[in-house]
Structure 1
């Protein structure tokens, strides 16, 4: 019989359930980035989708998600993190149902954009709720679990997508990759409505509408051509769009200087550790996104693996990412910041190992899994401490802005990684050296993450 002496304190149990609810929501949002990739060939046949339509089905979610993250973070600070998390989760769940029932590619694209909008409302509240609900060692542990969830969801998406499409449940083909979100979302809405904190002190800051519009436009002008460029053989409009994104971003900076309530306050960027950590997170996620995407293409293309087998090969990387994320804090505190740079070097060595091992066109499965584990360890050893450093000195009043900034860096990093290194890999294919050259590029990017994080070593 459990006694009062051994029972977990009610507050601790409540916070554990709160963390479970918000991280399962985070898990679903990231899962939906990768789970659809495996279903692409079946989608093309079933809906008679052309190349551009199929690319928008896969990437429309990411486009809407990346564009609206900062907006979602600011709305959470104004209206309440609980309210925005549940609203975003509700929209995400309903959109998932509509995606699963979509009769045409055009409607599926529209519903995927809605899914991305729901995720953008929901996801920034996760870090804000962690910031506000946990402190000290409990916050450190919560952020570590958060990092493990990010890695696990990316790999589980590939494995689960392969399983669901292969199973063809009740003859539903690709539809379960979307419908699987519905029962989970309904349960989270019910439980979250009871567990998430209801108290909220509205922020005094208003909404910087010109800033929101110019930043969203700058992000969309960059992300859309990155996502669609390779599929359409890098048309002129894509290059014009990316050049215009620079101009619009400069306009955003001018708008922010004059804004009464800027989206990303200057004092937040001057908070110790925030700027170098944000840059480091971006480059780590460029490496992570490029690594997952190009290796999946290589395994299923040049090496002939099935989607399911290719997904299973990533398990060592996900396992080590998760284990490292959960346990790095056991090291002495004086090693936490130096570990960031050391981990980027380890990641680069893993990528260089892949370049050497795969240069002969062979599979080398055992060596592959060992190197995947090394890369997973290195990426987690950089990402989790970077996230902790970025948020450790941020006051609670700035949690929404910090959460939105870090979430956007994370998501944009993945988009840029997939687009840049996917383009590099595909442009070199079918050369046997395509994956080796790409892996060397990923190693350089990992080292760049370490370089931008060097200022963190001087801070205490």
Structure 2
């Protein structure tokens, strides 16, 4: 449900824009607002779960998410909807980290890899469901409600989950997470569980780091989203400059906090782990391409080509299905190939995006070939993402597992945010400079070219080291996946 809501709004975006009479920039903020709150709260949500119990925090985040979904469905203007989307993202930021925390503290070795594969498959299912369910609800126009059911559908599901969760998750907290200081029980690196009563201490909350990261994300997002529409005013450039300053202060503060023995929001020790910097770059790039592609594709299919929300949603199904299948099956390939899966996936994704852009640039619907390219794009992006995620988590120490998970999932969400902001601005700037379907078609071709270039950058990052690892270089094997 949390993943679904990051995508379902894309299908409803054209109807939402028409009903609320909102600009393209405010529409981007409606989509990105969820990722803003979600991304900056993920690590803090995980630590709160360790302090009060992962089950309790899951239910608390679910309650916030459910109430905010109701508010989104009843919103009367773009300002209200943006605010409620931020609240909805905050609920997801408290709810979803508990899943990864339980995976990290319950599984080791190949069991953890399988669990992470299942998690990645759920991401793909959630994304696919977002396109299908969103398209079906908007096309049905239940009682003349238009886009509102894409949010309201969360309410009955959330209520049912809350009722079931109180019974299913409450006992786990009482048995394994409650206690002095509110701590959580972990599984040792050897795979044997800790003895009863031997509990890992909960991590301190890094509130100054949370504030600095949130400020840096907002200082970047707002001018990038609004700059094109407002002809890049001076305050936008000032905001971007301040973003660089605040992010530098954030990095210095986190480093100093780590040296003092504190618990930084983003651990410098994890960032220095072998392969993690490259993993951060690749995950950020992949999610930016994916997030931007989904956003602009829905705008083009419905706004430029006049397709229904349901048909537009169905167009994305091959992408989501291929992403999920590849996420489950890549481990069956020979291990010596794994080093090339991520750069190869990026290259396949880049070729697919270039092909999709060429098909749409002429103003047509792409024909049957577009569905083939949608599938290869999903396959490529999955291969670019899943081996990197599994490899980075496997290489960090057990005591750093929560920090690594938080870092990588936060990176993924910031990537979605960057993709909607940057590639959305490229598409809207070009599409709104002209009129008619051809303007949208040309904008789609240009934006797909920009996303393909970003995917090529993801391919080149670490590709030389991956080739060395494939040849059996032990130094490369230690440094890269």
Residues 273 and 390 in structure 1, CA contact (< 8 A), matched pair in contact too? yes
| 1:445 aligns to 2:454 (yes or no) | yes
What is aligned with 1:87?
Answer: 60
Number of residue equivalences: 433
Question: Residue 268 of structure 1: CA displacement?
Answer: 1.2
Shift in CA distance, 133/188, structure 1 to aligned 2, threshold 3 Å: farther
**SS in structure 2 of the partner of residue 66 of structure 1:** helix
Q: 1:121 aligns with which of 73, 94, 114?
A: 94
Q: 1:235 aligns with which of 233, 236, 247?
A: 233
Residues 293 and 422 in structure 1, CA contact (< 8 A), matched pair in contact too? yes
Which range moves more in the overlay, 341-350 or 120-129? 120-129
Distance 1:137 1:316 in 2: 29
RMSD after superposition: 2.5
Question: Residue 321 of structure 1: CA displacement?
Answer: 0.9
Q: 1:212 aligns with which of 192, 210, 213?
A: 210
**Ranges of 4+ aligned residues in structure 1 off by more than 6 Å:** none
What is aligned with 1:134?
Answer: 107
Distance 2:79 2:291 in 1: 27
What is aligned with 1:190?
Answer: 163
Residues 284 and 414 in structure 2, CA contact (< 8 A), matched pair in contact too? yes
What is aligned with 2:477?
Answer: 459
Distance 1:407 1:34 in 2: 16
TM-score (norm 2): 0.82
Distance 1:44 1:302 in 2: 14
Q: 2:123 aligns with which of 150, 158, 166?
A: 150
What is aligned with 1:99?
Answer: 72
**SS in structure 1 of the partner of residue 96 of structure 2:** helix
What is aligned with 1:385?
Answer: 387
What is aligned with 1:23?
Answer: none
Deviation per CA, 1:189-225, whole angstroms, max 9, x where unpaired? 3333344442114535422332222222112211233
Q: 1:110 aligns with which of 57, 69, 83?
A: 83
Residues 64 and 113 in structure 1, CA contact (< 8 A), matched pair in contact too? yes
What is aligned with 2:311?
Answer: 309
| 1:69 aligns to 2:42 (yes or no) | yes
| 1:270 aligns to 2:272 (yes or no) | yes
Residues 73 and 401 in structure 1, CA contact (< 8 A), matched pair in contact too? no
**SS in structure 2 of the partner of residue 271 of structure 1:** coil
What is aligned with 2:365?
Answer: 363
Shift in CA distance, 339/446, structure 1 to aligned 2, threshold 3 Å: same
Structure 2 alignment gaps of length 5 or more: 177-183, 185-198, 432-438, 470-475
What is aligned with 1:418?
Answer: 420
Shift in CA distance, 296/47, structure 1 to aligned 2, threshold 3 Å: closer
Deviation per CA, 1:379-403, whole angstroms, max 9, x where unpaired? 0111111110111123332232212
Structure 1 alignment gaps of length 5 or more: 1-27
